[in-house]
Structure 1
Amino acid sequence: MGSFGKWWRCRACSAREVSWYIKASLLELPQMSRSVVQQVYTHVFKPYGILPVAFRRATSHLRPIPDFLIIGAQKSGTTTLHGWISNHPEVKTGVWKEVHFFDWRHRYEKRGLRWYRSHFPVLIKPSKFKVGESTPEYLFNPASPRRVAETIPNARLVVLLRNPVDRAYSHYHHSRRLGAESLTFKEALEAEEDRIKGEMRKLKKTGTHKGKKYMKYSYKKRGEYADQIERWLKYFDRSQFLFIKSESMFRKPKKKLKEVKNHIGVSNINITYKDKKNEGNYEKMEFEARKKLRKHFEVKNKKLEKLIGKKMRWE
């Protein structure tokens, strides 16, 4: 697909690169099939309002920073919640769901706030809307809390917490689908500590996003929620957080959406919440593996409940 294909593989390109790819794609249109032309419209013109990223950056001072963030946890329903809350007429979200600004050092330090704001819409009456984005990596990345506090100190923060046993298994199969995991689930759990050894120390020191091993293989580590939330509570008041049990959100979506709407400050009107995103389809976890994981998370879950003042009652 030529230039368009190159652009689509790198949605984090610079404004100049994206603008060039758009122009090059237009030159290639006569040679493209109808399906590819539709992709150009869907992925280039439509999300950018027929205007290149350069324009969005030039008008970034007219674009708001978010009022709320859905910060995690990964594989806990953040894509679904993002889709649901985006249906609210008083909510505006970015060009895409995960902006990865506060967890990727080069974006935060080099591209800066102007780049971040360019992802959000120009609002004629900003007081009538709440703006947000959803990047589940923020919860886990140790550098994110400080960066968010420096940029959006009054942010309303939403945290989805899934049974860490099920989250780990879902994460494993996600890595398998991406071709990043060749071990069995049992082998992957046993190898996790050696695989990610030193990664968290490096992240705390540099704040870089290059620690790919911790992203791919942190099956148990990401489920140790209390340690991650403690880092955030050093910078934000407890009242700024809304903690939602993922299982409860899917069981009682209307009730939990009401909590989210109240927390971020929009009216409690009915919105569409039927679709469920990124739902995996895989075999049931082996009993022994589940038993071992439950034991691993037992004390950590109690610490979490004490920290957030909420009983999770995971099995």
Structure 2
Amino acid sequence: MANTMPHFIIIGAMKSATSTLHVQLSRQLGFWMSEPKEPNFFSDDDVWTKGLGWYSALFEGAAPSDLRGESSTHYTKLPDYPEALARMREHVPDAKLIYIMRHPIDRLVSHYMHAWLEASMEGDINQAVERYPALVNYGRYTMQLQPFLETYGPDNVLPVFFERLTKHPQEELERVCAFLGYEGVPIWSEEESRQNVSTERLRVDPLRDRIVNYPPIKFVRQKMIPRSVRNRVKQAWQITEKPELSLPVRRALMATFDQDLQTLGEWLGADLDCLTFKEAVRAKPLNWTKAAPFQDQWTLSPAT
């Protein structure tokens, strides 16, 4: 079974281009990426009960020389999935891990849009920030990273940033592949660069879907109603404009995230806060350069 377990896992963060990176890697010769992209095996109890045989079967089609990988953002969704790391430590102790980060407020807005479309969050975004702690928790990157860094060590956890990945995609893809020990020359595909675009999706509504897909109604809808009219009707179930955070909520979020980003910056040898984040992470690749607060546990690697 060891030969059909993943060599690496993209562990998060949610809404930070994990799907994009997964697809880009799947297009490279010598990679085998899981289908589904997010098996969530180590995190979700209902999937875990399927057993290691089910999980290892996701990689059975790989050639012996292929780098096998999967991408489950649930693995870094503390405190909601507390068993993920212990299960990973037992069954994939030698895996390389990739963690993609994004400006935490941008990530939160995208997370809300995704959840609203999935009908798992209600209310406007300002109400949701108060009602759903996950919106903030999943963007507290040091809280999510610390257990993995302590367990796997910084040499085996690659920090990647959404903003740099989108600005320098080929360079970052090469950096990811070098971290994974890939001996080929990866090529970024622009055709595969758009994944999970929220503004193009409809909010989940089973009753609506049953009605519009009922064969007689579907025929009338597709053959007799102009596309422009159909598109206007769809807008009732779409997010056509990015949700706006109120000024007080944004300020409170910045104060919360700035504390987390200060610590992250210490680990990476960079000055990070909500105002400087995008410029700092786009400027150059960042890697673990300082041991604090894990001086005894971390084996430091030079910045790349």
Q: Same fold (TM over 0.5)?
A: yes
Runs of 4+ residues deviating >6 angstroms: none
Q: CA-to-partner distance for each residue in 1:291-315, whole Å, 9 max, x for gaps?
A: 3322221111111222344555426
Q: Distance in 2 between matches of 1:133 and 1:309?
A: 29
Q: CA deviation at 1:280?
A: 2.8
1:67 aligns with 2:67: no
Stretch of structure 1 that moved more, 256-265 or 304-313: 304-313
Partners of 2:180 and 2:196 in 1: how far apart? 24
Match of 1:102 among 34, 42, 46: 42
Would the aligned equivalents of 1:68 and 1:132 in 2 still touch at CA under 8 Å? yes
- Maintained 8 Å contact 1:258/1:268: no
Query: Matches of 1:62 and 1:284 in 2, distance apart?
Result: 45
Instruction: Tell me if structure 2 keeps the 8 A contact 1:67–1:130.
Output: yes
CA distance in 2, matches of 1:280, 1:251: 20
TM-superposition CA deviations, 1:227-258 (whole Å, max 9, x none): 11111123111100110111110111011101
Which deviates more, 283-292 or 293-302? 283-292
Partner amino acid for 2:85?
P
Inter-partner Cα distance in structure 2 for 1:91 and 1:230 = 28
1:259 is aligned to 175
CA distance change for structure 1 residues 190 and 86 in 2, over 3 Å: closer, same or farther?
A: same
Q: How does 1:143-158 map to 2 (within 5 A)?
A: 143-158=83-98
RMSD: 2.0
Give how far 1:121 is off: 2.8
> What amino acid is the match of 1:114?
G
**Aligned twin of 2:55:** 116
Q: TM-score, normalised by structure 1?
A: 0.67
- Corresponding residue to 1:139 among 73, 76, 86: 76
The 3-state SS of whatever aligns with 1:111 is coil
1:260-299 CA deviation, whole Å, 9 max, x = no partner?
1001111241424312211233325346143332222111
Give, in whole Å, the separation in 1 of the partners of 2:96 and 2:140.
22
1:223 to 130, 134, 139: 139
Q: Do 1:97 and 1:134's aligned partners in 2 also have CA atoms closer than 8 Å?
A: yes
Question: What is the 5 A alignment of 1:143-182?
Answer: 143-182=83-122
The structure carrying a bigger helix percent of its residues is 1
- Stretch of structure 1 that moved more, 132-141 or 75-84: 132-141
> May I ask how many residue pairs the two structures share in their alignment?
228
Partner amino acid for 1:88? Answer: Q
Partner of 1:280: 198
Q: Distance in 1 between matches of 2:171 and 2:246?
A: 32
Which residue identity lines up with residue 242 of structure 2 in the other structure? E
**1:147, CA displacement in angstroms?**
1.1
Distance in 2 between the 1:120 and 1:299 partners? 40
Matches within 5 A, 1:1-315: 61=1, 64-108=4-48, 110-123=49-62, 125-126=63-64, 128-140=65-77, 141-193=81-133, 218-274=134-190, 275-281=193-199, 282-283=241-242, 285-286=244-245, 288=247, 289-312=249-272, 313-314=276-277
| C-alpha separation in 2, matches of 1:224 and 1:286 | 18
Question: CA, structure 1 residues 62+136, in 2 after alignment: closer, same or farther (shift >3 Å)?
Answer: closer
- 5+ residue gaps, structure 2, are 200-240, 279-304
SS in 1 for 2:69: strand
* Alpha-carbon distance in structure 2 between the residues aligned to 1:181 and 1:92: 34
1:154 deviates by 1.0
Q: Please give the alpha-carbon distance, in whole angstroms, between the structure 1 residues aligned to 2:2 and 2:170.
A: 34
* Closer, same or farther: CA 158–311 of 1 in aligned 2, 3 Å: farther
Unaligned runs of 5+ in 1: 1-60, 194-217
How far does residue 191 in structure 1 lie from its aligned partner after superposition? 2.5
Contact 1:63 1:118 in 2 (8 A): no
Q: Flag the 1:71–1:256 CA change in 2: closer, same or farther, 3 A.
A: same
- Give the fraction of aligned pairs with identical amino acids, expressed as a percent: 26
